[in-house]
Amino acid sequence: MSILVTGAAGFIGAQLSKRLLEQGFEIIGIDNLNDYYDVKLKKARLTQLETQPHFRFIQLDLADRAGMAELFSQNKFQKVVNLAAQAGVRYSIENPYAYVDSNIVGFVNLLEGCRHHRIEHLVFASSSSVYGLNTKMPFSEHHNVDHPISLYAATKKANELMAHTYAHLYGLPTTGLRFFTVYGPWGRPDMAYFKFTQAILKDQPIQVYNHGKMQRDFTYIDDIIEGVIRILDRIPEPNLNWSNNSPDPSTSPAPYRLYNIGNNQPVELMYFIKTLEKALGKTAKMQMLPMQPGDVTATYADIKDLEREIAFQPRTTIEEGLAHFVDWYRNHYFVKK
């Protein structure tokens, strides 16, 4: 089976590609290798993949309509995993057009490729950020999510709507996964845990927003990858009990599903920092700051649907996960970057 993985040089994309290759799949990975964060790290992830005989990398931007059309016409993909996107909540306030180009225009190009080449299953990355102003915890896929508070979140909500439209019009089986704060080795340098580690090791202060009064549903990369692989085999079917009078946002009379994929264990930010300090063997210097525009105070994933569908069960504690990340950071990134 040939699978297209977009964002293959990214954190989740590279780890997913590695696992799929180990299972014997043919993987074509694409990425535009933009400089939103350290390109050397992206290339280091790719280096691990390019030694595998069943992996082929193509540098390509999702927003390149002709390039995407050619990609689909020259290859016979059975399934597609879309992990390419312009990431980052705060950066979406500074550079909104990057999000429109990648997350909206690029996603349409991908949907068109899937539509015209009869892809068996499209799995795409959404985000916990779509919950926006929602405060009912835990966040459920069955809740309405019409009030995003960042452009990044709005583009991810738009992806869900666009995917549903293609599932409805063309019968394209699509599954959206709302990721909750993925972390671990080979992670993204723009994420808080990565920035905190860098600063603490350099004896620099870390920026703690909302004066530390925040919670995040941190989800370890290995748990995420296991969930994605399992859901890739679970092709969605129409919900025959779906009601027009009381519509369920997570299902449809079309072959379409949405799932939260998180740890179901929110962690207080100050506990997170203490755990990181313990793993590093150093105390953090903290600069307490107010809440940043676009941020939310807490995330907490209801994962009952994913547990029921694929027996998804995160196994990595925050203590174990941060210890693994710190080991990787000391042995790889801190030395070789």
Of the residues 36, 131, 152, 329, only one is catalytic, namely 152
Q: In whole angstroms, what is the distance from residue 5 CA to residue 14 CA?
A: 9
User: Is 170 one of the catalytic residues?
Assistant: no
Give the C-alpha distances (Å, rounded to integers) separating 281 from 113, 186, 272, 316, 326.
Answer: 49, 21, 14, 21, 10
Tokens 């859901």 belong to: 231
Helices 11-22 and 221-232, axial angle in degrees (round to 10): 60
Catalytic center residues: 152
